[in-house]
Amino acid sequence: MPSLREYQEEAVGFLLPRLHAALFLNPGMGKSLIILELLNRLRFRGVKRVLIIAPIRVCKFVWPAEIQKWEYPFTSTVLHGPKKTVDRGSKRHGITHIDLINPEGLKWFFDQELPEYDALVVDESSLLKSPSSKWFKLLKRELNRFNRRYIMTGTPTPRSLQDLWSQIFILDKGERLGKYITHFRNAYFYQVMRGNYFDWKPIQGMEDVVYKRIAPIALRLDAEKLIDLPDLLYNDIQIELPPKAKKAYIGIQKSLFAELDGAEIYADTAASAYGLCCQMVGGAMYHEGGVQVLHDEKIKALKSLVEELNGKPVLIAYRFKHELERLQKALPDNRAIHGGSSGKEDAQTLSSWNAGEVPVLLAQVQSIAFGLNMQGGGCADVVWFSLTDDFQLYQQLNRRIYRSGNKAKKVRVHRLVAKDTVDEMISKRLSSKDERQRSLFEALQAWRKHGSN
């Protein structure tokens, strides 16, 4: 059994007497260990069968590995794949059994004849932040199956204070923030017109009111104040688009600005133009059923940086599927994790990475952002080939490396930024460290007015 750090003991002590509680800890603080120790102590209070909802790679690679690493007397099953079944007899012999499932599997799960569960744990509860999502609606109907309910995430409000409502509802079924999202909005927010749609902003002073209401069941601990972390440095590497690519980019950008300047914002059209802008700065874009390559400026800058690192491991984040082939060609000594890679491949890649055997790891942003332990291989450099405008994904991916257990003295986040493009707007928003940023369209309008040519 492990020896817990002082703040981990504090967290277990907070959760233990509560039937419903939230754990808001930065990535890398050992949330999974805290939950495992909690479940270990709850064995003596009759908790023998647990459902954990988590991203699929976390289900496959993190929870089973943590159970084995810390030698807890638990068994576990990952409910994924065409042959998945719920073993109704696993709760026996005094051993706690954990079923692991990703949100995409919830419809299948609740259609089964299920055994009784003693507890529910939602790992990365911000994935269920939308009250209108099918995942939340499915879980909402089934909450009474679980007497104990716990949620955990490092980013509880990635876009708005509104993101808290559904996560807290999973715990208290509306006791603290209201039984309906509409009631929550009307009580704590006011409406602002954004082109042809309404946005909601917190009424002055109401953020503190919300935090006070959830404080009895929510624990927030800050990694920077509690554990030794490497220094975190940011390095923006600026590139210039070549004339031909710049001309093509400006044409798409003008189309985007035309949408933003209109009396109404046509979200689909603006989003399409914005997506093309984000692709073009990386050097290629989907066009007429194929991929059109425009330039290699970011590829050149990336190769130069990798050569500079001289064999030191580097994690390279990319956003678009078509970027992977170009990156693999430019950096042949690589491994990759992406939406199309198999679980077996990913397991081997992660094992080799944490053993320091992979010099270049290419990672599609959403495939590794949540939950994976990747600090073991001595990597000190994260490179963003194409920036995400999702603050939650950005922070979570950086935290795969910038976390406790990384023995590097400094972690460097390198961002390839194309001059006078949307890259600059995105990098500024991310640097602000504001999880509740303005809407994307509003930020684009402000950037056009003050920061673009």
Residues 310 and 235 placed together within one structural domain of the fold: yes
Q: What is the pLDDT of residues 312-361, one digit of tens each?
A: 999 999 999 999 999 999 998 899 999 888 888 888 999 999 999 999 99
Domains identified in the chain, total number: 2
Q: What is the pLDDT of residues 272-304, one digit of tens each?
A: 888 889 999 999 998 777 889 999 999 999 999
Residues 364 and 301 placed together within one structural domain of the fold: yes
Residue 215: which CATH number? Answer: 3.40.50.10810
Sign of CA dihedral 176, 182, 183, 184: positive
Q: What is the pLDDT of residues 379-388, one digit of tens each?
A: 999 999 999 9
Residues 341 and 213 placed together within one structural domain of the fold: no
Distance of alpha carbon 450 from alpha carbon 352, whole angstroms: 46
Residues 246 and 207 placed together within one structural domain of the fold: no
**Tokens (6 digits) for 178:** 């209201």
In a domain, 258, yes or no: yes
Residues 194 and 306 placed together within one structural domain of the fold: no
Q: What is the pTM of this model?
A: 0.75
Residues 70 and 160 placed together within one structural domain of the fold: yes
Residues 280 and 185 placed together within one structural domain of the fold: no
Residues 64 and 205 placed together within one structural domain of the fold: yes
Find residue 101's DSSP bridge partners: 53
Q: What is the pLDDT of residues 45-78, one digit of tens each?
A: 999 999 999 998 899 988 999 999 999 999 999 9
Of 210, 226, 242, which marks where a domain is finished? 226
Of 201, 226, 251, which marks where a domain is finished? 226
Distance of alpha carbon 401 from alpha carbon 232, whole angstroms: 10
Q: What is the pLDDT of residues 226-274, one digit of tens each?
A: 777 888 899 999 999 999 999 999 988 888 776 665 544 455 677 788 8
Predicted pLDDT of residue 35: 97
Distance of alpha carbon 383 from alpha carbon 313, whole angstroms: 11
Q: Are 298 and 283 in contact (CB under 8 A)?
A: yes
Residue 411 gets the label, from left (phi > 0), alpha (psi -120 to 50) or beta, of beta
In a domain, 1, yes or no: no
In a domain, 413, yes or no: yes
In a domain, 45, yes or no: yes
Question: What's the domain range around 28?
Answer: 6-226
In a domain, 46, yes or no: yes
Residues 97 and 245 placed together within one structural domain of the fold: no
In a domain, 375, yes or no: yes
Q: CA nearest 381: which of 401, 362, 364?
A: 401
Of 195, 226, 257, which marks where a domain is finished? 226
Residue 444: which CATH number? Answer: 3.40.50.300
Residues 425 and 316 placed together within one structural domain of the fold: yes
Residues 23 and 136 placed together within one structural domain of the fold: yes
Give the residue ranges of DSSP H helices in 75-125.
106-110
